[in-house]
């Protein structure tokens, strides 16, 4: 079943004139959306660990904050790339 579906998608891509299923704007939106989803997923685990570490030692606040904010830079980078392209 999945092989037939992949073959059908390949035929649709080949029939399209420019060789892609979606336009440039949709591809850019998809790229930023996936980057934001991945950043949120990683921040969930990092945030939980950071709060647990800060509950034991309050001096770890700055390290926890930096590690929590770090994945968000990927989304900002994706937005910059989309704007530049």
pLDDT at 20: 62
Task: Please give the residue range of the domain that contains residue 73.
Answer: 24-84
pLDDT at 8: 66
Whether 64 maps to a domain, the answer reads yes
Whether 61 maps to a domain, the answer reads yes
Whether 38 maps to a domain, the answer reads yes
Distance CA 36, CA 13 (A): 27
pLDDT tens digits, residue range 10-42?
Answer: 565 555 556 566 777 787 888 888 888 988 898
Distance CA 19, CA 12 (A): 9
Whether 74 maps to a domain, the answer reads yes
Whether 18 maps to a domain, the answer reads no
pLDDT at 25: 79
Looking at per-residue confidence, does 3 or 53 come out higher?
Answer: 53
How many domains is the chain built from? 1
pLDDT tens digits, residue range 35-72?
Answer: 889 888 988 999 999 999 999 999 989 998 898 888 88
């Amino acid at each position: 079943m999945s092989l037939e579906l992949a073959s059908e998608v390949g035929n649709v891509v080949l029939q399209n004139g420019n060789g892609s299923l979606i336009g440039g704007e949709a591809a850019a939106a998809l790229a930023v959306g996936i980057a934001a989803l991945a950043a949120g997923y990683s921040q969930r685990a990092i945030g939980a660990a950071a709060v647990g570490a800060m509950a034991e030692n309050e001096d770890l606040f700055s390290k926890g904050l930096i590690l929590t904010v770090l994945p968000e830079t990927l989304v900002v980078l994706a937005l910059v790339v989309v704007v530049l392209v």
